[in-house]
A = this chain, B = another copy of it.
Amino acid sequence: MSETITLSLEEAKSLSLTVLQHHGYSQAHADAIMRSVLAAQRDECHSHGLYRLINCVEAARNGAVNTHAQPSIVDQAPGVLRIDAHQGCSLLSFEMGKPLLAEKARQSGLAALAINNCFHFSALWPEVEALSSEGLVAIAMTPTHAFVAPAGGVAPLLGTNPIAFSWPRPGGSPYTFDFATSVVARGEIELHRRAGKDIPDHWAMDAEANPTTDPVAALAGAMRTFGGYKGSALSTMIELLAGPLIGDVFGHETQAANAEQTGKPFHGELILALSPDAFLGEHAAQHLEHAEALFDRILGQGARLPSQRRFEARQNSLRNGVTLPKTLVDELKALVS
Contact = CB atoms under 8 A, between A and B. Distances in A.
Interface in A63-119: 76-80, 82, 107-112, 114
A301 B157 contact: yes
Interface in A247-281: 247, 250, 252, 272, 274, 276, 278-281
A290 B229 CA distance: 23
A247 B77 contact: no
Contacts of A227: 226-228, 230-231
A319 interface: no
Contacts of A233: 165, 177, 179, 306
A245 interface: yes
Interface in A36-86: 76-80, 82
A57 B304 CA distance: 41
Given A80-B109, A110-B80, A287-B247, A240 B167 contact: yes
A278 B236 CA distance: 22
Contacts of A294: 157, 236, 239-240, 243, 250, 252
A15 interface: no
Query: What 4 A-B pairs are tightest by C-beta distance, nearest first?
Result: A227-B227, A80-B109, A79-B108, A153-B303
Given A77-B279, A108-B108, A252-B297, 6 more contacts: A80-B108, A226-B230, A229-B306, A244-B290, A245-B287, A247-B279
